[in-house]
Structure 1
Amino acid sequence: MNPIEIEQALRSLGVPADIVASSASWGVEKPDARFFERIVAETNGLAPSEIAYVGDRLDSDVEPAQRAGMIPIFLRRGPWALVQSSSACFATPTHAIESLVSLPDLLQSL
């Protein structure tokens, strides 16, 4: 579960995101489909296919976001990302970035 402190820190920093929330504040853990359904509900009318979801885990971020109909973006950083990206257990993600610095350009191209 993502700690609520991370959500609070992002809010205090003024991160330019449409939604800043955590699984802790919503009371549902990824990869539970209800987490991704809640994201769609919070967008006030966007179709799942209009939502880009960025995550650093294939099992609890990328694959469930794809099942929910979102555009999953794999942030290939951190230990889980490195382990999972070299595993044959997961499909190669359509969209992958090495750093959040690359995110704006990728979003522009979608």
Structure 2
Amino acid sequence: MNKPEKEFHHPAGEWQQPGPKNNGIWDQILAQDAGSGEATLLQRYEAGAATPPETIAHEYWEEVMILSGELTDLRLGQTFTAGMYACRPPGMKHGPYRSESGCSMLVFIR
């Protein structure tokens, strides 16, 4: 399977929390291949939102572009801002995160 073909449009997908412990963090799936798990999504942190305190690692590639706002990696003590990009291979440790003012990101999962 592949992601669906879509011409320019206003995404109408619902915003959903990625997990029960992620209060104030929301995902909107833009395109997804259910067979492979590949997905393109918008992720939004409300002001003051934070991930659970554990370090994060995925079993998939993840690319993230911060579109607006700021995101702080609490483990590294670094704040990342709009225009910054990350490309993470499977197993790469990152986070936990907090956003004081909120942020929006474009995320690719493969």
Q: TM-score, normalised by structure 2?
A: 0.29
Q: Which has the higher helix share?
A: 1
Q: Which has the higher strand share?
A: 2
Greater relative contact order, per chain length (Cα 8 Å cut-off, separation 6+): 2
Q: TM-score, normalised by structure 1?
A: 0.29
